[in-house]
Structure 1
Amino acid sequence: MAQRKIKIRGVYRSGSHLPIWEVLQQAGIWDKAGLDLVNFEYCAMPPDAERALFKGDIDFISGDHLTPYGLVARGKPIVSIASPVNGQNASIASREPIKSLHELRGKGIADTPMEGRDGGFHHGRGNHMMYLIRAGIGIDQVNWVESESSDEQFEALKSGKADARFISGAGERYKELGLHVLPLGPLPMINGPTLTTSYTVLHKKKGLGERLVKALVLGIHFAKTKRRKTEKILATLNKRTGEDYQYSRVERMPKKPYPDPQGIINAYELGCIKSPEAKEISPLALWDLHYLRELDDSGFIDKLYKRKVRDA
């Protein structure tokens, strides 16, 4: 007897999360996991997503990495159950050549404000702060030249209003202007389409946690083993959104989407900057990995990758 599908609604916090969810949708994986995704929309700011989750308007959030620590400290039932992206890479573009981040002490860095107008925490800015913290530089030892506009940040660097700016990619645009680019290497960080939900939802919809994790695992497996089909799905997504999502974005996701331990600690430290009361809880208090562990312990994931898959 076929299992009864669970209807679910979700939001994603960034368009960069879309590739893996598009794979799940177009490959019929929600259905295979016993789920019926009836609504999935973009939500710009964490407070709006969290409010919808606690009201029961949605069942999960794709993302939401930093503000939940403060919510857990205040007794809210928010929980993260899987993490398919556990790091990021950045470079620093500067007007003068530098060999390390230490040379930025006292300098101006163009970036987004730490918080949005409604109090939401900008994770990108948080990542940049964590690069400084890990290099032994206090976030108050640099001068932040803040703007919500990426173009204005770029102009601030060009004009000399700022001395440096964190960037992604190789920075060819900056090099062509005679600016200098220093790759910073990987930063362990909970990032991307983390599965975040609430215990209220999980208790109300029995089996939801298991099915959400299984769907994500199946989606990652599809992407890793059916490259041509996945690239076709991403090409359609790119045409629809005007973006340029590459196959590597989903291919590098781990077979078993456990969070990286240092990534948890780094995200927690940023969460404490946003919500100092979070210092009273453990970095692990947000996480419940038993759904993933049970699926892993059953041998399901290992068996998936032992099968021969035809990528037609």
Structure 2
Amino acid sequence: MTTGQQMGVIGAGIMGVGIAYVFAAAGCQVTLVEPEPARAERALETVRVQAARALERGRLTSAQADGLPGRVRTIRSVGELPMETDLVVEAVPERPELKRRVLAQAGARRPVVLASNTSGLSIDGLAAPLRRPGDFLGLHFFNPVWRMPLVEIVRGTRTTEATLQRAREAAELMGKETVVVRDAPGFATSRLGVAIGLEAMRMLEEGVASAEDIDRAMELGYRHPMGPLRLSDLVGLDVRLDIARHLTKTYGPRFEPPGILLEKVAAAELGRKTGRGFYDWGGA
């Protein structure tokens, strides 16, 4: 894949905006699907702000920063995506029925490659309604997308070699490194990340240490760039809970969500997006 190609992103949440940004930064034309006008406008503003910050930090030239926002446009529905877009990435909430419906609509637009940004749902399960499952795979990005270097490529049982190669090329175009994993529950990153995160929550629940000290132990002792509790807040505690429940069904009680996670989600303390989780984010 090369610069100037047509990319589609479905969903203007945190991950969708980040994916749209890195495509645009790579010189691609991006169509971002978001039915809510206010959220669509916030997404475009985020792209503008992030381009300005990248310019300040020397990651973009003035010409690149000036041109980047103009390469992202928003539309209201999947049916408005350009036909035969080079790559479409679905980034809607982690609800299987919603994802399957959106992916089926996107697949009808005949993208060369269709991908889901799911962090743990089965790629084969999501591929069930697709006419061309060979063109489909998982592209699992990490938050914040503009900084995190990894894209986890998840290959379904019917994903073709050509699709896998195009996905690698797209990641390379965005300056990302890749790992390729088969379609197993939790893939590699979510399975490992959730296991560490849940154990950190149990330690906090048992009074082993404060959230800050648990995180510092992993950052300083194991060189993790961010501790597991702060990372859980960044990902979203509701997302963590959904993944934990999904993994419990497959792998058993070692992924059973602890009470502290259930309590925080029930109280709508979901992390940074609500202003409070394991940390106080000051209404961020």
User: Comparing both structures, which one devotes a greater share of its residues to helix?
Assistant: 2
Instruction: Give me the TM-score of the superposition, normalised by structure 2.
Output: 0.28
- Flag the structure with more relative contact order, 1 or 2, with Cα contacts below 8 A and sequence separation at least 6: 1
Instruction: Give me the TM-score of the superposition, normalised by structure 1.
Output: 0.26
Give 1 or 2 for the bigger CA radius of gyration: 1
